[in-house]
Amino acid sequence: MCHPVHKQNQDINTLSYKSMDVLRPYSFLGSDNIMYMLKAEASFDSAHFLSGYDGKCRNIHGHRWRIEAVIKSSALIENGQQRGMVTDFSILKKDLKEAADNFDHALIYERGSLKENTLSCLRDENFRLIETTFRPTAENLAKYFYGILKNKGYSVDSVTVYETPNNCAVYMEDKA
């Protein structure tokens, strides 16, 4: 367990941690496996359907999608304004929100899953349409958002996409 220890000749408000106490619970992992993890969330409302699916989800329906992104680092930034951080939460939250907002209040559909005349009618009505190259499942959206954050330079551990409050898909890359 990690115990704060008062250093001699220091103000009572200045605490430090015994390095051995911090590492002891994880010593079986080896020091290379110790990670800092940050989690940020964003959400969006949109509709989708699953073309070729034999069930209710073949129909257009909506969700309040929630994205949880976990960023990892084995070390903290040592200098500058972000000293002691993995990254600035405000930047991570902004990047994740920007990615989520791109899907907000739209119909997400897979390329080739709607007839051209259907698309034309939806466009004529000024509906917001987002065409993807993948079937818009929670699994594929988790992988998509993982890729966006990775391309922005984050060391992404995992991305979870909730389709409902109780059902989610998680994407992480194989560590092997």
Which residues are marked as active site? 57, 105, 163
DSSP string, 40-59: EEEEEEEEE--TT-SSGGGS
Question: Does residue 43 contact residue 65 with C-beta atoms inside 8 Å?
Answer: yes
Q: How far is C-alpha 19 from the chain's CA centre?
A: 31
Return the SS3 of 135.
Answer: coil
User: How far is 18 from 24, CA to CA, in rounded Å?
Assistant: 10
Q: How far is CA 91 from the centre of its chain?
A: 13
Q: Look at strands 36-48 and 107-110 and give their pairing.
A: parallel
Q: Token pair for residue 56?
A: 């209710």
